[in-house]
Structure 1
Amino acid sequence: MPRTKGSDLYRAYLRMPDQKVDPESKTNTKSPEAAAEAFAEIIARTELDGQKMAAVLTHNGKQLAFHRFDRKPGSADYWRDRMGDIPWPPGLVGRPAEMEGGKRVNVYLDAQSLARAARLGDGNVSEGIRRALARDD
């Protein structure tokens, strides 16, 4: 996940068929993690499937991802299950912090799980997964 620079602005929102932005879905943030979480929550809305609506993720006005709800999996404009492919701005990616006894692993999460892990970890997916695993159920 990229780090933020001083003037970075990320936006995630739902675009309606008339090209207007749904104000309830709009997120403006300097946090790429919060933007990714907001975008993941929007594209997880399966009740919108088949409709001519779109979820949009931008960085400083430049489109990073555009999810069309009227497209099928595998289409270029279909981002559900492809959150890890978002082309974050170059130069912003940082090495994650290492922890004693830790090991880097890759996990594959659906959009809802990714959003929940980010929310549980205050924007940090790895921390969210650790917190979820630490819960005593």
Structure 2
Amino acid sequence: MTHSLSGMFPSVELFKEYQNAAMAILEKSDCTMISGSPFIKKSGWRKISFYFNVSYEIKDKNVEFDENRNVQRAEFVVRAYMQGGRFSDGWGSCERREKRFLKPNHDIPSTAETRAKNKACQDVLGIGEYRPGASQFQR
């Protein structure tokens, strides 16, 4: 199996192999449970990106500061590229009030960038909200 979907329209079986290959490279530590459902963490999306040779470019960013130059909010738009020219833009944001950050001036923009990269990767690969174990209910 090659992991490029360029060229002919893939069969359903090939596309499922493609999704399963992405999930097969993940380890248990690459996923987390949120409200009882498994989700892929940053480490998992980076492995999937590496496996499928996805590259990223920050297209836009906005970091908002208060009067003391403390980061309050950040937004990123990141473009994910595949070798064949396919690309997708992902948007991510983060605000100070979301959770307790140890180093908010770093963590808020970093979290927004990560969210944008994860979304761009999901979209460029056509995986969307595909989660480990989700396919077991498809029959």
- For the aligned pair, the TM-score class normalised by the smaller chain equals under 0.3
Q: Between Structure 1 and Structure 2, whose CA radius of gyration is higher?
A: 2
Superposition TM-score, scaled by structure 1 size: 0.25
Tell which has more relative contact order, 1 or 2 (C-alpha 8 A, sep 6+). Answer: 1
Choose between structure 1 and 2: higher strand proportion. Answer: 2
Choose between structure 1 and 2: higher helix proportion. Answer: 2
Superposition TM-score, scaled by structure 2 size: 0.25
